[in-house]
Structure 1
């Protein structure tokens, strides 16, 4: 019988109860017991993220994601594949914080217009 933790992981990764937005955000990632390293977040939702991970991370491992201007966000590793890690936030990200991040980084790769 699935536990509450299993149900949350399934909802966060399979059901995609919240839309994931593809973007590029410079970040710092630190696995439990390890040192922080520079990373890039590839997609983000209120329930989780995927990011580059130079270190092998294991399902169930706790980690902390630090985005520019925000405090560290605790998450649990759900999957790791070829230097990309998928994590579920321990607490859902506030929709207001999520929207602010999207506003700030969605146009990062858009061409800039000359004025």
Structure 2
């Protein structure tokens, strides 16, 4: 490994390796705020330790920084990796803690797959 291998490169490599980890299909109401823009309501469609996909009617360009806020949680910084037909895929800047990941899934699965509103 050369000294020019940055921490972002290491994260990108780890995130790609983590793509073999389960990406759990789920439905969680959330808000997403792109850098320099207003936050909007969305629904997280899947979640993994390294990222998520969510609804985004307006195009978000790859490389855009954004912040995902799930109910009762602090915002998590991520980067847009892809956007396709109103769905955006993002990679977290820091891998999600496995305990937090499992707690989110347990909370939102408890309705047997029924969408639970935060209102």
Give TM class, smaller chain. Answer: 0.7 to 0.9
Tell me which stretches of 4 or more aligned residues in structure 1 moved more than 2 Å.
Answer: 2-15, 107-111
Q: TM-score, normalised by structure 1?
A: 0.84
- With over 3 angstroms needed to count, the CA separation of the structure-2 counterparts of 1:67 and 1:15, relative to structure 1, is closer
- With over 3 angstroms needed to count, the CA separation of the structure-2 counterparts of 1:109 and 1:39, relative to structure 1, is farther
Aligned residues: 111
Unaligned runs of 5+ in 1: none
- Picking from 70, 73, 82, the partner of 1:70 is 73
Q: Aligned equivalents of 1:73 and 1:30: distance in 2?
A: 10
- Picking from 32, 52, 56, the partner of 2:55 is 52
Over the aligned positions, Cα root-mean-square deviation in angstroms equals 2.2
Matched, 1:41 2:40: no
Unaligned runs of 5+ in 2: 115-119
Q: Aligned equivalents of 2:87 and 2:112: distance in 1?
A: 20
